[in-house]
Structures are given as C-alpha cells and as structure tokens.
Amino acid sequence: MPDAKLEPAAPTMNAPRKTPPAKPPLDARLTEQRNPRSLRIDQLSALEIVDLINAEDRLVAAAVSDERLRIARAIDLVVHCLGRGGRLIYVGAGTSGRLGVLDASEMPPTFRTDPEMVQGVMAGGYEALLRAQEGAEDHPEDGAAAMDERDVKPDDFVLGIAASGTTPFVHGALQRARERGARTGFLLCTPPSEALQQAHDVVIAPLVGPEVITGSTRMKAATATKMVLNMISTGAMVKLGKVHGNLMVDLQVTCQKLQDRGERILMETLDLERAEAGRLLDASGGHVKTAIVMHRLGVDADTARQRLEQAGGSISAVK
C-alpha cells in the first residue's frame, strides 16, 4: 500500500518530526494508487525522471514471472482451441485494446496465420485505435454485441485485457463469450477477486505496482501486458509447429525484408548459398517451411505442402 502524501508536522524547537500513519487508498485498484517513489517527480531533472521510470520498469519482468504458471495455462488453452479450428480473440479498451490489436496484427506476417485466427477487438472500433474514445469502454452491451458479431463459438478462446480489471466493455464481452460456450481468460494488473477467478478458465495478474504517474496504465501495466501477450501468442505458435528450432519457418515472403530473412533461414538450415536459397524460396511460392521440405525430401512444392499438412504443419514430423 503506498504512503499517503505526508502532512507537514508543526515545527517545535528540538522536537523530532513525526510521520502520520498512512491513509487507506481512495481506490482499492492497484493501478489507481499513488506510487510513493514518484511523489515528487515534478521536481526532478530530466535524467532523474529517466532513472526513476527505468527503476520502476525493472519491476515488470519479475511481476510477469510470478504469473508463469497461469501464462503457460493460457498457452495450452490457445493451442487446444486453435488446434480445433477455433480462434484467439483479444478484447480490450484504450491501451489494453490497442496492445491486443497489435499482437493479433503481427501474427499473419510472422507466422503465416489466417487473419481470422487471432483477432483484436477494440472498444470504439477502428477509430479508437487512432484517437482515444474513452467513453466507448463504459458499455458492456457493446462488448457483448462484438462477440455476437464475430459469432464466437465453443472452440474459441477469448482473452479480456483490462489493466484495472473493471472495464465494462471487456466484462460484457467475456460474459457473452461464456454464454456462447467459449473458453475465456482475463489479463489485469491488480489483484483479481475470487469471483473473477472462478468465472474464467485462466486469470493472469502481473502486479507491477502503482504507476509512476498515478493511473497511467500505458506505462508499467502496458509493458507487462505486452510481455504476456508476446508469451501467449508466440508460445502457441511454437506449439503449433510454426517455429523450427528458433526460426520462424512459417514465414511468407511479402516484402524485401522477409525475402532476405527467408533466404538466410534457408542458407542456415540447409547450408545453401544465397543464390540457391533465393531460387528455392521462389519455387516454394515464398514459403520458407515448404522450401525446407522440398529440399530435404527432393520433392516439388505441391508435394511438400501435402507432406506438411499430413504432419500437422511440423517440419520435424514430416516423413
């Protein structure tokens, strides 16, 4: 519990200063409490502000580590649902919503997923991504409608993201998702209630502590959220066979940067020269995983794709 702002003690000759007892916080949510270490941030130099924020950011990784078992549980849930043809759907508002949309949007270019497989639902829609529409988060019925619009099914996993744990849009979406039979999870940065934990398949709560600027959850809470989402989506893609070793072999060439990366993956995994790797990548249709199987088995692209499909997409399981 952070210290309340100290009231100045009445100075008396030779009398020691007494610190008044800390007042209870006005808001029980950890994300809304005052950080005692930044009470005087407005009096600091630029370098001191940097050092203070950096010191607070060091607390984030440890808080995420404390949730490792629940993050792993979320990965298993996502793999189960995606393996059955379901989807991973993030739901959030403000910074939390934008981070969900960001993670979802990075799946197709990184792991060659169908754009529908991982989705981000944002309170206020597309416009809220570019310009804050904070009032959009206050309507649980809009969250519920978003689940109906996406025809959420039992094989979907819906993860609500709300640093404070109280966003009505997110709660409305998750309630409707449960009603429709979906698996659900909640990611927040304040201690979850027992009711919240009982309502969902997994609840992840990295407790990063009060923000440097009170209530500004775009800071430590957002950093923790990004770390957790990275772990969940990346872990799920690894388990689904979209990574070989630590290489993103399900990469689909869509630009010069990815052409270069794809060629280098083939050069390293197959011991090829750059020109030969480029020709193989072109023959595969720009799909690194297909190119690897083509070379190892001495087959054409269509056959390589069939073998991969039979092996569930895993290069290691291809025969």
Domain presence at residue 146: yes
Q: Which of 141-145, 216-220, 266-270, 312-316 has the least mean pLDDT? A: 312-316
Q: Domain total for the chain?
A: 2
Do 221 and 260 share a domain, yes or no?
no
Q: Across the strands, what pairs with 244?
A: 247
Provide the pLDDT for residue 114: 92
Q: What is the mean pLDDT of residues 231-249?
A: 92
Do 128 and 93 share a domain, yes or no?
yes
Catalytic residue among 32, 56, 67, 137: 137
Question: In this model, does residue 140 exceed pLDDT 50?
Answer: yes
Domain presence at residue 81: yes
Write the secondary structure of 282-313 as one string of H (helix), E (strand) and C (coil).
Answer: HHCCCEHHHHHHHHHHCCCHHHHHHHHHHCCC
Confidence of residue 8 (pLDDT cuts 50, 70, 90): very low
Domain final position from 211, 239, 267:
239
Do 170 and 308 share a domain, yes or no?
no
Domain presence at residue 171: yes
Question: In this model, does residue 1 exceed pLDDT 60?
Answer: no
Q: Give, in order, the Cα–Cα distances in Å from 190 to each of 38, 48, 204, 208, 272.
A: 19, 27, 10, 8, 51
Residue-wise pLDDT tens digits, 18-40: 444 556 666 778 887 888 888 99
Do 267 and 306 share a domain, yes or no?
yes
Alpha carbons 164 and 226: distance in angstroms, whole number:
15
Domain presence at residue 44: no
Domain presence at residue 68: yes
Q: What is the mean pLDDT of residues 235-262?
A: 90
Do 107 and 229 share a domain, yes or no?
yes
Alpha carbons 77 and 232: distance in angstroms, whole number:
10
Question: In this model, does residue 2 exceed pLDDT 90?
Answer: no
Question: In this model, does residue 232 exceed pLDDT 90?
Answer: yes
- Taking alpha carbons only, the member of 111, 106, 115 closest to residue 251 is 111
Question: In this model, does residue 218 exceed pLDDT 80?
Answer: yes
Do 128 and 226 share a domain, yes or no?
yes
Dump strand ranges (E) for 65-182. 88-92, 118-122, 157-161
- Taking alpha carbons only, the member of 158, 163, 190 closest to residue 174 is 158
Radius of gyration over alpha carbons of the chain, in Å? 24
Do 260 and 229 share a domain, yes or no?
no
Residue type, 294: M
Q: What is the mean pLDDT of residues 180-196?
A: 96
106 is catalytic: yes
Domain presence at residue 42: no
Q: Is 97 buried (19+), middle (13-18) or exposed (0-12) by CB count in 10 A?
A: buried
CATH number of 279's domain: 1.10.8.1080
Domain final position from 239, 268, 303:
239
Q: In Å, how far from its chain's centre is CA 287?
A: 26
Question: In this model, does residue 96 exceed pLDDT 90?
Answer: yes
Provide the whole-model pTM: 0.85
Alpha carbons 177 and 169: distance in angstroms, whole number:
12
Per-residue tokens: 280: 């193989």
Helix (H, G, I), strand (E, B) or coil at 202: strand
- Of all residues in the chain, the percent with pLDDT exceeding 70 is 92
Confidence of residue 196 (pLDDT cuts 50, 70, 90): very high
Domain presence at residue 41: no
Question: In this model, does residue 55 exceed pLDDT 80?
Answer: yes
- Taking alpha carbons only, the member of 49, 118, 92 closest to residue 221 is 92
Per-residue tokens: 229: 């989402």
Alpha helices (H) in 112-251, listed in sequence order: 125-130, 140-149, 168-179, 194-199, 220-239
Residue type, 170: V
> Please, what sign has the CA dihedral across residues 234, 240, 244, 245?
positive
CATH number of 90's domain: 3.40.50.10490
Please state, rounded to an integer, the average pLDDT across all residues of the chain: 89
Domain final position from 181, 212, 239:
239
137 is catalytic: yes
Question: In this model, does residue 169 exceed pLDDT 50?
Answer: yes
Looking at per-residue pLDDT, the higher value among 108 and 23 belongs to: 108
Do 188 and 288 share a domain, yes or no?
no
Do 280 and 162 share a domain, yes or no?
no
Looking at per-residue pLDDT, the higher value among 254 and 195 belongs to: 195
Q: In Å, how far from its chain's centre is CA 319?
A: 35
Do 82 and 114 share a domain, yes or no?
yes
Alpha carbons 118 and 242: distance in angstroms, whole number:
14
Do 206 and 73 share a domain, yes or no?
yes
Provide the pLDDT for residue 12: 39
Domain presence at residue 85: yes
DSSP string covering 235-293, please? HHHHHTT--BTTB-TT-B--SHHHHHHHHHHHHHHHT--HHHHHHHHHHTTSBHHHHHH
Question: In this model, does residue 278 exceed pLDDT 60?
Answer: yes
Confidence of residue 319 (pLDDT cuts 50, 70, 90): confident
Alpha carbons 135 and 124: distance in angstroms, whole number:
8
Domain hosting 119: range is 64-239
Provide the pLDDT for residue 35: 86
Do 266 and 127 share a domain, yes or no?
no
Question: In this model, does residue 100 exceed pLDDT 60?
Answer: yes
